[in-house]
Amino acid sequence: MSAVSLRSEPRPLVLSNARIVDPGRKIDAFGTAIVIDGRIAHAGPGPTPALPEGAEIVDCRGRAVLPGLIDMRVFVGEPGAEHRETFASAGQAAAAGGVTTIVTMPDTDPVIDDVALVDFIARRARDTASVNVLPMAALTKGLKGREMTEFGLLKAAGAVGFTDGRHSITNALVLRRALTYARDFGALIMHHPADPDLVGSGVMNEGETATRLGLPGIPREAEIIMLERDIRIAALTGGRYHAAQISCAESLAVIRRAKASGLNVSCGVSATHLALNERDVGPYRTFYRLSPPLRSEDDRRAMVEGVADGSIDVIVSSHDPQDVDTKRHPFAEAADGAVGLETLLAAALRLVHNGEAELAAVVNALSTRPAALLGLEAGRIAPGAPADLILVDLGMPWICTTEALHSRSKNTPFEGSRFEGRVLRTIVAGRTVYSFADA
Amino acid sequence: MTRNLLTDADQPAAVFTHRHLLGIEGLTPPEIVALLDLAEEAVDVSRQVEKKKSVLRGRTQINLFFEASTRTQSSFELAGKRLGADVMNMSVGSSSVKKGETLIDTAMTLNAMNPDILVVRHHAAGAVHLLAQKVGCSVINAGDGAHEHPTQALLDALTIRRHKGGFGELVVAICGDILHSRVARSNILLLNALGARVRCIGPSTLLPKALDRLGVEIFTDMKAGLADADIVMMLRLQRERMDGSFVPSVREYFHFFGLDQEKLGYAKPDALVMHPGPMNRGVEIDSAVADGAQSLIREQVEMGVAVRMAVLEALASHLPDQANFA
């Protein structure tokens, strides 16, 4: 496969002999995808129309073509912490991981709570990042959990949702008013359900492992109680509520009940929580310190089931670049967070390889469902949709090494992990922004 | 041509049989119409050089305002004086309430002074009703919390009737902070009673629960809500509600809910604009609209005096010794 420069003029592209997987149209079949002017002109099995003039023709040899991944929870670092990650480096990491759209969190310095800052991100990302960057704006001014931001004006400026990122809203009235007000604008509210008082000084899942390690624990109830509260407020207000990440079996039960009663709620899980559990913390490895924390194996299995049956809507990377200044500390004093853009797909594909979930369910959670929640045209391989596509060798083995990471920060919990499934080419709006030969 | 309730007992105004005016709730459509008819005459009186009548001569009217007010209080004062009453103003700043006296104690104290009419405004819903149970005189509600402000609704109705002739099939859009507004509640009751179609428009955070049960159509978008509206009634948004607690900012509120020429354009071409005052220019209403050709805001103030004269006159017919006199 030839190297393609980042900003080449998009000429027509033909992906032939491809296994096209489009959960939205329930397609998983061999066929051809044709891309013209940044959009999909044809995709699927059956007779192929005449190929466009001057097209680049790629024989996929039966490999998978999936809709590009849409990652709903990405911390970047720009503005304010460019030494950890910039839009440029996050864009490269995303492209290498098959992520064609990243949704950025407002926990930056300054906090993204103003129209001018949303505008800044949109322009800065357009100029420097190779993938789509969509900002979520702060839910409350300064992430202080007190006063809601200008949902209407921020949405018009391009904010795709509202969240306080790592922060939880402890004041139920603030959340009630925010969900009520957001409803008028059809705005999505994404919340991190973790009661800060119950989390307290906890640094990992409360249980045997924490006790053996002598580390303060975070009870599951910190998540479950707040999630239950949130669901009731969502019911009261009729607003669109999305739990950014859940981590416990019982949280999944709460979500299932809410959905069964017809509420407009959804939730996510990180690929890291699908792949790892609390035992992986091992000898105080700070790259495994996350929020929410890695839970027990039973909880992990429940998360996998949730993805398989669609109760969990989306899989996110929760990509959170941290440098040695925040991670090279004793476990209890280190920061939370792990990078994940480049391991998102491979970690999620483990579910498929283990026979725990269908490929369509995983692709749905990585692309189709997030697109629907965010109101994007992407997330599908259908004529007329933006040509955000990835070519994936689902079975190709590889080992994750920090040297090979494109992210500016190297805090991956998957160092040395063996994966099956590799992105060979990432296409954003018809333009190839990554191909495996480059690496 | 003025009508005297005392002598012309068979006139329409005599259908008003209440001792107090505590709210629009409880008034029948004929009673409301009678008050409006009476107010119409008071407009004529107020436009004469000689504005004095003697219906309330020798009567004492106390304006008891627990909440600051400029236009309502002065309007009641003028109305009382034009009808010949002795009017005393008591506001919270100079009263014993600040020294910890309860509402009931204040009422009993005032009652001992034998007033004939008490005009009361209080920040708590229901406070005026409580007071009315404890005193021997007639009580007029000049606004209690977010409950009712009946004379405002009557003056709004009078203003509308003078311009539109009636209420049948009239589309009235009440816009803004419905949640905290007593003006909205009284207007909804009155306009519904007289057959108008009432809409409420505002962000969901400023719309009370179950508002639809009050017989109004609810909108959260000005464009949709103002379509085909004959009357656009703007409500005041208080500063402390725009700091992120109910709406994010003045900027955002004005952008989506402030009445400017563009939004007014969604209503009927001959739509009229009203506001109970005091206005926040640039928050809920643009100056060009507030002072524009479609604005009735200044006329509302004039109608305010007339309506209060009508209410005082109507209640005067039931003051105790006059009942004996009749």
How do residues A167-177 score in pLDDT, each as one tens digit?
999 999 999 99
The DSSP bridge partners found for residue A102 are A71, A133
pLDDT-wise least confident of A41-55, A246-260, B185-199: A41-55
Chain A residue whose CA is closest to B250: A150
* Residue A113 sits at the chain B interface (C-beta within 8 Å): no
Q: Using an 8 Å Cβ cutoff, are A347 and A272 in contact?
A: yes
Six token digits for residue B315? 């209640």
Question: Is the pLDDT score of A309 beyond 70?
Answer: yes
Q: How far apart are the CA of A173 and the nearest CA of chain B, in angstroms?
A: 9
**How confident is residue A199, by pLDDT bands cut at 50, 70 and 90?**
very high
Asked if B248 lies within 8 A of A140 by C-beta distance, the reply is: no
Tell me B247's DSSP state.
S
How is residue B95 annotated by DSSP?
S
For chain B, what is the mean pLDDT?
90
How many other β-carbons are positioned within 10 Å of the β-carbon of residue B67? Answer: 18
Chain B CB within 8 Å of residue A417 CB: no
**Peptide bond just before A193 cis, omega within 30 deg:** no
Cβ A12 vs Cβ A55: under 8 Å: yes
Q: Do B248 and A151 touch (CB under 8 A)?
A: yes
Distance from CA of A265 to the nearest CA of B (A): 19
In tens, the pLDDT along A257-307 reads 999 999 999 999 999 999 999 999 999 999 999 999 999 999 999 999 999
Return the residue in A149, A177, A236 with the most chain B beta carbons within 10 A, the one to mutate for interface testing: A177
Residues B233 and B274: beta-carbon distance below 8 Å: yes
Asked whether the predicted pLDDT for residue B12 surpasses 50, the reply is no
What interface predicted TM-score (ipTM) does this complex get? 0.85
- Residues in chain A with CB shorter than 8 Å from the CB of B258 are none
> What's the rounded Cα separation, in Å, for the pair B255 and B243?
15
Contact call for B244 and A183, based on CB within 8 A: no
pLDDT confidence of residue A161: 98
Q: What is the mean pLDDT of residues A411-415?
A: 96
Contact B220 A184 (CB under 8 A): yes
- Name the closest residue on chain B to residue A115, using Cα atoms: B252
Q: What pLDDT, on the 0 to 100 scale, is given for residue A152?
A: 97
Q: pLDDT tens digits, residue range A80-91? A: 999 999 999 999
Which pLDDT belongs to residue A2?
Answer: 43
Nearest-Cα distance to chain B for A268, in Å, is 27
Cβ partners under 8 Å of residue B314, min gap 6: B5, B13, B16, B21, B34, B35, B38
User: Do residues A91 and A129 lie in contact, with contact meaning Cβ atoms separated by under 8 Å?
Assistant: yes
Q: Do A152 and B205 touch (CB under 8 A)?
A: no
**Which chain B residue has the Cα nearest residue A183?**
B204
Give the pLDDT of residue B6: 43
Q: SS3 letters for chain A?
A: CCCCCCCCCCCCEEEEEEEEEEHHHCEEEEEEEEEECCEEEEEECCCCCCCCCCCEEEECCCCEEEECEEEEEECCCCCCCCCCCCHHHHHHHHHHHCEEEEEECCCCCCCCCCHHHHHHHHHHHHHHCCCEEEECEECEHHHCCCCECCHHHHHHHCCCCEECCCCCCCCHHHHHHHHHHHHHHCCEEEECCCCHHHHCCCCEECCHHHHHHCCCEECCHHHHHHHHHHHHHHHHHCCEEEECCCCCHHHHHHHHHHHHCCCCEEEEEEHHHHHCCHHHHCCCCHHHCCCCCCCCHHHHHHHHHHHHHCCCCEEECCECCCCHHHHCCCHHHCCCCECCCCCHHHHHHHHHHCCCCCHHHHHHHHHHHHHHHHCCCCCCCCCCCECCEEEEEEEEEEECCHHHCCCCCCCCCCCCCEEEEEEEEEEECCEEEEEHHHC
pLDDT of B242 > 50? The answer is yes
pLDDT at B317: 81
Tell me the pLDDT tens digit for each residue of B112-163: 999 999 999 999 999 999 999 989 999 999 999 999 999 999 999 999 999 9
Tokens 């006159």, residue located: B313
Q: Can you spell out the DSSP letters for B133-145?
A: HH-SSEEEEEEET
In 3D space, the residue among A99, A20, A15, A106 whose CA is nearest the CA of residue A59 turns out to be A15
Listed in sequence order, the residues at least 6 apart from A164 whose beta carbon sits closer than 8 Å to its beta carbon are A106, A107, A138, A139, A140, A143, A145, A191, A192
Tell me whether B248 touches chain A (CB under 8 Å): yes
Q: How confident is the model at residue B97 (pLDDT cuts 50, 70, 90)?
A: low
Predicted local distance difference test score (pLDDT) of residue A8: 53
Are A147 and B245 within 8 A, CB to CB?
Answer: yes
For residue A395, pLDDT beyond 80? yes
Measured N-to-C along each axis, helices A115-128 and A87-97 cross at an angle, to the nearest 10 degrees, of 60
User: In chain B, which ranges are continuous DSSP H helix?
Assistant: 29-47, 71-82, 103-111, 127-134, 150-164, 182-193, 222-226, 250-257, 261-264, 287-290, 297-316, 320-325
Residue whose C-alpha is closest to residue B55's, from B97, B16, B14, B5: B5
Planar angle of CA A105, A107, A111, nearest 5 degrees: 110
Q: Does B212 touch chain A (CB under 8 A)?
A: no
Structure tokens at B241: 């509600």
Under an 8 A CB cutoff, do B205 and A151 touch? no
Tokens 């009567």 correspond to B59
Q: Is the pLDDT of residue A194 over 60?
A: yes
Would you state the pLDDT for residue B70? 87
- The SS3 of residue B5 is coil
Residues of A in contact with B247 (CB under 8 A): 181
Q: How far apart are the first and last CA of chain B?
A: 22
> Which of B205, B251, B255 lies closest to A181 in CB terms?
B205
Side-chain-side CA neighbours of A26 within 13 Å: the count stands at: 0
Say if CB A394 and CB A49 are below 8 A apart: no
Mean pLDDT of chain A: 95
Q: Between residues 131 and 160 of chain A, which touch chain B (CB distance below 8 Å)?
A: 140-141, 146-153
Q: Is the pLDDT of residue B11 over 50?
A: no
Structure tokens at A413: 């919990």
Q: Which of A183, A236, A144 is nearest to B244 (CA)?
A: A144
Say yes or no for a CB contact (<8 Å) between B252 and A153: yes
Poorest-pLDDT segment among A195-199, B41-45, B105-109, B193-197: B105-109
Asked if A162 has any chain B CB less than 8 Å from its own CB, the reply is: no
- By C-alpha distance, the chain B residue nearest A236 is B209
**Measured between beta carbons, which residues in chain A are less than 8 angstroms from residue B180?**
none
Decide the pairing of beta strands B117-122 and A265-270: unpaired
What mean pLDDT comes out for the span B12-33?
A: 87
Dihedral through CA A297, CA A300, CA A306, CA A312, nearest 10?
160
| pLDDT, position B321 | 61
pLDDT tens figures, A327-370: 999 999 999 999 999 999 999 999 999 999 999 999 999 999 99
Q: How many residue contacts between A and B have a Cβ separation below 8 Å?
A: 44
What is the reported pLDDT for A9? 64
Residue A146: its chain B contacts at CB < 8 A?
244
Those of residues 165-224 in A touching chain B at CB distance below 8 A are: 177, 180-181, 183-184
Phi, psi of B8 (to 5 degrees): -100, 70
The pLDDT, as a whole number, for residue B219 is 98
Amino acid at B111: N
